[in-house]
Amino acid sequence: GDSVTQMEGPVTLSEEACLTINCTYTATGYPSLFWYVQYPGEGLQLLLKATKADDKGSNKGFEATYRKETTSFHLEKGSVQVSDSAVYFCALSKSGGYQKVTFGTGTKLQVIP
Amino acid sequence: EPEVTQTPSHQVTQMGQEVILRCVPISNHLYFYWYRQILGQKVEFLVSFYNNEISEKSEIFDDQFSVERPDGSNFTLKIRSTKLEDSAMYFCASSEEGIGNTIYFGEGSWLTVV
């Protein structure tokens, strides 16, 4: 079945450091790929998405590129802020009428001043 | 921006009691979902709902669970005879019809079974 594997956390970075959270997927066909973010005490928010190979999703300084050849969708940010502290979930959904989402286990990011 | 709203935000219930979690999906969306996140674990798919019927359900979604769209705006998850292991955050979500459309999640209902 479909699955998403993302790097284990927690990840602790100093403010302004570079961030990479690795994500790889296994799926048949051509899934859409997502990063969701969950801030402390809040729900899931869509951070960015890419729906086909070589697409780059970006939002709030975060980027991720859909790499079909390596089945990856790594999340990157050049300079993190304390406010970026959250849990980040990589996810995929299959094309079709409805969009069942398969999530990775989540990576907790803590940014310290 | 339109959003999915859920009530209650937090509910404590005794084991064996029935619980109904409510959701108002985004108004022009046609697909509705419930997901569950047990504390510290991954978000798990429970069920999807389209055209007034279940389109897919996971193995977690057994006879204890049911979903309903009682009117044109609400979407509910009922848990009969709750168990301790049902304690989790329950997320409602909705999406438009079409390939590659984003699923929008609510802020979740935190259920604690004691």
What pLDDT does residue B88 have? 96
* Of the partner residues A42, A89, A97, the one whose CB lies closest to the CB of residue B43: A89
Q: What separation in angstroms does the CA of A13 have from each of A8, A78, A111, A113?
A: 14, 12, 5, 9
Cβ neighbours of residue A14 under 8 Å, at least 6 residues apart? A111, A112, A113
Average pLDDT value for residue range A20-48: 90
Given a cut of 80, is residue B1 above it in pLDDT?
A: no
CB proximity A44 to B under 8 Å: yes
Omega cis (within 30) before B25: no
B54/A50 Cα distance (integer angstroms):
27
Among B43, B45, B50, beta carbon nearest to A97: B50
pLDDT top residue among B98 and B27:
B27
Q: Which residue has the higher pLDDT, B39 or A82?
A: A82
Looking at the complex, does the CB of residue A93 fall below 8 Å from at least one CB of chain B? yes
**How many other CB atoms sit within 10 Å of the CB of residue B72?**
6
At A97 the pLDDT is 55
Integer Cα distance of B72 and B77 in angstroms: 15
B-chain CB neighbours of A105 within 8 Å are: 41-42
What is the number of CB-based contacts under 8 A between chain A and chain B? Answer: 63
Q: Which residue of A has its CA nearest to B29?
A: A98
Confidence of residue A2 (pLDDT cuts 50, 70, 90): confident
Higher pLDDT, B101 or A74: A74
Confidence of residue A98 (pLDDT cuts 50, 70, 90): low
- Cross-chain CB nearest to B43 (options A32, A97, A103): A103
Whole-number pLDDT of residue A96: 58
User: Which residues from chain A sit within 8 angstroms of residue B44, using beta carbons?
Assistant: 103
pLDDT band at B35 (very low <50, low <70, confident <90, very high): very high
Q: Which residue from B99, B102, B104 is facing A96, i.e. has the nearest CB?
A: B99
What Å distances lie between residue B114 and A18, B13, B41, B88, B111, CA to CA?
43, 6, 20, 12, 10
A36–B contact, CB cutoff 8 A: yes
Q: Which residue has the higher pLDDT, A96 or A92?
A: A92
Q: DSSP code of A71?
A: T
pLDDT digits (tens, 9 = 90+) for B76-97: 999 999 999 999 999 999 988 7
> Which residues on A lie below 8 Å from B98 (Cβ)?
97
pLDDT at residue B17 above 80? yes
